[in-house]
Amino acid sequence: MNVVIIGTGNVATVLGKLISIKGHKIIEIVGRNTLATQTLARICHASPNTNFATINDSADIYIVAVVDTAIETVTKQLTLQNKIVVHTAGSVSIQTLQHLSGSHGVLWPLQTLRKEMKTIPEIPIVIDANSETSYATLLAFTKSISDTVFRANDAKRIKLHLAAVFVSNFTNHLYTLTEDYCHKEALDFKLLYPLIQETGYRILSNSPRSVQTGPAIRRDYSTINNHLQLLKENHTLHKIYQLLSDSIKES
C-alpha cells in the first residue's frame, strides 16, 4: 500500500522503518521541522513535505503519528476527505478524526518506541475504524506489519493504555528511583540487571501473581521494617515501599 506519515517523532520513525521493511511504499513524510522531516523521508525513501496544505492525496492510508495533545491541532490543517486516516494514540478517541475524513480509525502500536532503536522489537498493534470497510483495509495493512493485531474500541483501548502505563511507565520510574538510590548509596545499579531480566522472563510463561517473591508475600515483617528504617530519610521511596508492600500482602 501507499502510505503517508504525518509526524517525525519516535512512533513515526519506528513505524516508518517497519512499514518500509514490510514492502509498503511511504510516498511522503509530513512534518513541521524541516530537518527532521527530511531526515525521516530519507530513511523511508519518501518525499519530505513541511506544508500541510499540499499533502499528497494519492495514498491508501494516512498515519497521524504525533504526540497525543497535538493530534487535533495537526489534523485541523489537513484536507483528506474520503481517505483512510488513522492516529497512533492509545488514549485518544477515534472521534477526534471524524471531521477530517469519512474513513478514519486508530492504529496504536502497543510498544515503547524510540527512534534510536537499532532493531525493531515485536509490536502488537491495536486498531479500530469507523466502518467495516475501513476496518477491513486497516486490518489487512496491520497484519502485514505485525503478527499480533487486536481490535479495541475507545472504551477498551483506554483501559489497555492504562494497563500499559502500569507495566511500562511506572515500572521504568521504579527503575529510575532505584538507580538514584544506588548512586546515593555507592551501589552499582548494573548488579541488578540479571534480576530485572529474570523477573521479566518469568512472566512470559507464568501469571505474575504465581511468581511473586519478596518479603511482603512471605509476611517477613522484620525485613520490611528494616527496609523502611533504611528509607526513613527518603520520603518518596518510603511511601512507595510501604504502599506496594501493603498491596502485595493484600493480593
Phi, psi dihedral angles at 63 (to 5 degrees): -110, 115
Q: What domains, with CATH codes, occur in the chain?
A: 2-152 (3.40.50.720), 158-250 (1.10.1040.20)
pLDDT above 70 covers a percentage of the chain that reads: 100
Cell of 43: 530513511
- DSSP letter at 113 equals -
> Does pLDDT of 79 surpass 90?
no
Q: What angle do CA 137, 141, 143 make, to 5 degrees?
A: 115
Set of cell numbers at residue 85: 486516516
Q: Write out pLDDT tens, residues 58-72.
A: 999 999 999 999 999
- What does DSSP say about strands 25-30 and 125-129: parallel, antiparallel, or unpaired? unpaired
d(C-alpha 179, C-alpha 218), whole Å: 25
Q: Dump pLDDT digits (tens) for 87-136.
A: 999 999 999 999 999 999 999 999 999 999 999 999 999 999 999 999 99
With helix as H, strand as E and coil as C, how does 208-232 read?
Answer: HHHHCCCCCCCCCHHHHHHHHHHCC
What's this model's pTM, rounded to 2 decimal places? 0.93
pLDDT band at 84 (very low <50, low <70, confident <90, very high): very high
The pLDDT-based confidence of 1 (bands split at 50, 70, 90) is very high
Q: Which pLDDT score is estimated for 223?
A: 98
pLDDT number for residue 125:
98
By DSSP bridging, strand 61-64 and strand 84-87 are parallel
* pLDDT at site 81: 81
Burial class (CB in 10 A: 0-12, 13-18, 19+), 201: exposed
**Span 15-57, pLDDT tens digits:** 999 999 999 999 999 999 999 999 999 999 999 999 999 999 9
